[in-house]
Structure 1
Amino acid sequence: MNLPVGEGHAVRLNAITGLRWWAALGVFAYHVTNVATLPGSIAAAVRPGYLGVTFFFVLSGFVLTWSMRAGTPKRTFYWRRFARIYPLHLLTLLAAIPVFYSFHPDTADWWVKPFSIPVLMLSVFVIQGWWRDPTILFSGNPAAWTLTAEAFFYATHPFLASGLRRTRLRGALIAAAGTIAFAAICRIVIIGNPGSWFAGLPWPILRLNEFVLGMTLAWAMRQGWRFRVHPLAIIAVAAFYFIGIVKIPAMASIAAWTPEVATVLSAALIVGVASREIAGKSKWLGARPLVALGEWSFAFYLIHATFIYLARSLFGVQPAGLHSAAMVAGLLAASIVVSWLLHSFFERPVESRLRAWQAARMARSIR
């Protein structure tokens, strides 16, 4: 499919939606070790799960650029983004407060913070991610710090997309390569000056390259470019890297490059799967159960930490064996069921009503 610049509308990529679930599951697996003791090999396997956030940032740039329509007003774009993330964020924030805050916290429960309205208000306005102080960065619902980055990305997208629209295929691919090169230069600076002001910049700024890489590759695909590498090859490279930096002494020195490696691998997986789906070769990734899990993944991401730390408060850290296995299974099942309920009966209907309200308001304004 070759979409002329500024024309048409990209087809929905169900397999990409399905990939969201695996990224959310990786984040869950990483966090669940706070309540369940896993065998050494499994614990090592889930340790890179936090990089699911990197995948989400790259995917966000890709999806917004893949699906954008020419002529959409900025205010419409911003309202749709607000309708998409904020209502569910606010609801899950309210659910998280009793788990993560107390007027008299026990010092043994390190995840419980003193109740503070000013700090919580930063989370209400989704600006907590502009601080590096963990008490603020992970305030409210700890998982929601990423929404600060997403809000920043959303703010920049119409302006970045305006420049991207002026490029053709070669320009888009050069922009993608330039984004990777710029990220590499930033990493060199950070490695050489770990205490510098640059290394301490807020995460929304330092993570912008992930979002932009997704944007540039989506635009290249809209010009007809396809990534011909099989997704299984990309997964094999990822497995080799993450095993290698732990097991192969010669590779240990490149572990500092993990954020950049994960960004490139995430981008490669996204465009690889998207290319195969367009060619009709990734039907199982677009299967309805996986797509449904992907659609629920935002709710799953926002509520999973609350369930994990509630379980820790009630039952403590479970020892290795059946107790841990049962805890992981129970938390996963509960998180999936509640994410389905949230998506079906709150997230989706509220988003639809907010979008319809704006559409009606704009229609009245032009009469």
Structure 2
Amino acid sequence: MTAVRGDAPRATPATGERARPRIFFPELEGMRGVAAVMVMLTHIALSTGVIASEMYGAAGNPVAGPILNTMDVSLPIFFVLSGLVLYRPFALATLTDRPSMALKPYFWRRALRILPAYWVLAGTALLVLNADAVTGLWHVLRPLLVLHVYQPNAMPTGMEQTWSLATEVAFYLTLPLLAWALRRWAVRAADPGARARRMLLPLGAIVLTGAGFAAYHHLPSMGAFPMQHLWPTEYMGYLALGMTLATLSAVAEVAPERTPAAYRFLIRHPGAAWIGAVLAYAAACSPLGGPNEMNYPPLGPAMVDHALYLTISLLLVAPLTLPAGRPGYMRAALSNPVLRFLGRVSYGVFLWHVFYLWVYYDLTGTPLGTGNFWLVTAAVAGASVVTATLSFYLVERPAMRLRPWLGRAPVDPGAQAPRTVREQRPAARPAVQWEPKAGETAPAVPAE
């Protein structure tokens, strides 16, 4: 995500007021860069034997192994970010009685965002690492259509991490329907605060449903690494968690006095969330999180990890959604040039690092589960960042230039940011109104 300029101001349906341009949200981009580095380091540590695993017969490093193994919380962080960024416009529309975004532009932009760069990787991986395994047209179409997680033994070499992309695609396809259902349920309430509370109830149920599927997939009868473990069902809770944050952020912007108490506490003490995330991460690295091996965990440790990963991803991302702005140390940590660059090319880093791991081990003849962690990291990270940069400027960004073909949109993708207090200005009341109590004022209408 890298938008610095957005749409030209336009009139909003509810008020006739000229809406503010879409605003770039740098902290989310920095968090995406952090998550991309984490997922890459986890896979490098696994392949070099730093993380214990039966797959490679590696005993692992007792100190570095648990720390790097727990970095696979990066994928839940990606899911939470997706739920937050994509649902926030829907949440704002529901709270202010504005029309939701048109579906054709929505699906068009989602396809442009993920498919061109992914197809380049898929074509390269199939040609370079899987040529002998491609014996029919379906073997090519299946990964190109992101359906390779729904059949056993269908994961192409060099693309193993793209199972999570199938979860993202399923979310992209179902989000408009879910947003429509939440809106139908929420508009029965009169004011934004009540609407937000109605939206939060089913989202909480989805979080619990995802945990239920995680438990089901780790029953002893399912065996180790069942195919269903890669399906979206286990991970829907993380996406719903992001949607929950989107709802809380939206209501805090539209009607701050109606914001739930927990989110008001976060506004007053944003640093407490990151402290909690560090403590939860430490718990996940400890024996409480299980044996900390890259093996399929039994039911008990799996559910502990699931709960801790929900907690970590929630507490890391939540302060970045505050409509009154983020603390200076959070901006410094996540908005610096290095992390903003990594966030900009994070999709390419995610796509290419496993491919280069396989290339490295094939070229060097090193057995998997062995190798120098730092040497492999330098080689794989270097190749991945260079390729990701080329992918961004030669594939992803040119694809983004097609975004305006179906509806007005900025050329660059970006997350809509809540306005800070200094950016807020008086505005007409939204269509949703109520009688204010003494001392209360009408909420400002958010920019879209």
- Which residue of 243, 247, 262 corresponds with 2:286? 243
Structure 1 residues 291 and 148: CA distance shift in structure 2, 3 A = same
Aligned to 2:139: 119
Taking the aligned partners of 2:74 and 2:384, their CA distance within structure 1 comes to 17
Structure 1 residues 207-222: aligned runs within 5 Å: 207-222=235-250
- State the one-letter code of the partner of 1:212: A
Aligned-partner SS, 1:128: coil
Structure 1 residues 83 and 231: CA distance shift in structure 2, 3 A = same
Aligned to 1:46: 68
- Which residue of 185, 191, 206 corresponds with 2:234? 206
Q: TM-score by structure 2 length?
A: 0.67
Structure 1 residues 335 and 200: CA distance shift in structure 2, 3 A = closer
Aligned-partner SS, 1:136: coil
Aligned to 1:286: 335
Aligned to 1:263: 310
Whether 2:112 is the aligned partner of 1:63: answer no
Structure with greater helix share of residues:
1
Whether 2:275 is the aligned partner of 1:232: answer yes
- State the one-letter code of the partner of 2:339: L
Aligned to 1:20: 32
- Which residue of 312, 337, 360 corresponds with 2:386? 337
Whether 2:321 is the aligned partner of 1:299: answer no
Structure 1 residues 27-106: aligned runs within 5 Å: 27-33=39-45, 35-38=47-50, 40=61, 41-68=63-90, 70-103=99-132
Taking the aligned partners of 2:310 and 2:66, their CA distance within structure 1 comes to 20
Q: Between the two proteins, what is the percent identity of the paired residues? A: 21
8 Å CA contact 1:35–1:311 kept in 2: the answer is no
Stretches of structure 2 that go unaligned for 5 or more consecutive residues are 1-11, 51-59, 94-98, 187-194, 253-258, 293-297, 409-448
- State the one-letter code of the partner of 1:156: T
Stretches of structure 1 that go unaligned for 5 or more consecutive residues are 104-112, 361-367
Whether 2:405 is the aligned partner of 1:357: answer yes
- State the one-letter code of the partner of 1:255: P
Q: Which has the larger radius of gyration?
A: 2
8 Å CA contact 1:23–1:53 kept in 2: the answer is yes
8 Å CA contact 2:249–2:323 kept in 1: the answer is no
8 Å CA contact 1:318–1:324 kept in 2: the answer is no
Structure 1 residues 273 and 84: CA distance shift in structure 2, 3 A = same
Aligned to 1:272: 319
Taking the aligned partners of 2:281 and 2:158, their CA distance within structure 1 comes to 33
Structure 1 residues 325 and 356: CA distance shift in structure 2, 3 A = same
TM-fit CA distance, 1:162: 2.1
TM-fit CA distance, 1:246: 5.6
TM-fit CA distance, 1:220: 1.7
Structure 1 residues 66 and 316: CA distance shift in structure 2, 3 A = farther
Matched residue count: 341
TM-fit CA distance, 1:339: 0.9
- State the one-letter code of the partner of 1:208: M
- State the one-letter code of the partner of 2:29: T
Q: TM-score by structure 1 length?
A: 0.80
Structure 1 residues 173 and 43: CA distance shift in structure 2, 3 A = same
- State the one-letter code of the partner of 1:239: A
- Which residue of 206, 226, 229 corresponds with 1:179? 206
Aligned-partner SS, 2:24: coil
Structure 1 residues 137 and 321: CA distance shift in structure 2, 3 A = closer
- State the one-letter code of the partner of 1:161: A
TM-fit CA distance, 1:100: 2.5
Per-residue CA deviation, residues 268-315 of structure 1 (Å, 9 max, x unaligned), is 221123339824442111223212211111111001111110001001
Taking the aligned partners of 2:371 and 2:129, their CA distance within structure 1 comes to 27
Structure 1 residues 256 and 348: CA distance shift in structure 2, 3 A = same
TM-fit CA distance, 1:253: 7.6
Aligned residues: CA RMSD:
3.3
8 Å CA contact 1:33–1:43 kept in 2: the answer is yes
Structure 1 residues 33 and 318: CA distance shift in structure 2, 3 A = farther
